[in-house]
Amino acid sequence: PIYVANFILMDYGTGAIYGVPAHDQRDFDFAKKYDLPITQVIDGSDELPHTGEGQVINSDFLNGLSIPEAKAEMIKRVEALGTGFGTTQYRLRDWGISRQRYWGCP
């Protein structure tokens, strides 16, 4: 299903997101408000939403893996199928050196 929500940050990324109510506070609140099903996929806490580390559960071939291991396995499988590839995205900002008071007054 597709849901429209006003808490999506339209100026960040594509404006389209996936929801993981068991592991994100805003998604959890949205799911509770509209009585949507919540499936826990990270084992690590009985209290939801769980936003920390843990082992993957309810996820077929990823069950029992840590989050970094599951990410690596998903990338490996997508690359093997030829349907995608892994990449590293950096979010570095330019340093405004001309505005730094450390270097003295302009």
Where are the domains positioned within the chain?
21-101
Question: Measured between alpha carbons, how far is 86 from 80 in angstroms, rounded to an integer?
Answer: 11
**In which region does residue 60 sit, left (phi positive, over 0), alpha (psi from -120 to 50) or beta (all else)?**
left
Query: Which value, in Å, is the radius of gyration of the alpha carbons in the chain?
Result: 19
Question: Taking every pair of C-alpha atoms in the chain, what is the biggest distance, in angstroms?
Answer: 60
Q: Tokens for 15?
A: 């404006």
**pLDDT score for 97:** 62
The architecture (CATH level 2) of 21-101 comes to: Alpha-Beta Complex (3.90)
Range of weakest confidence among 28-37, 42-51, 68-77, 92-101 = 92-101
State the pLDDT confidence band at 37, using cuts at 50, 70 and 90.
very high
Query: Does pLDDT of 64 surpass 60?
Result: yes
Residues 42-73: b if buried by 16+ CB within 10 A, e if exposed = beeeeeebbeeebbbeeeeebeebebeebeee
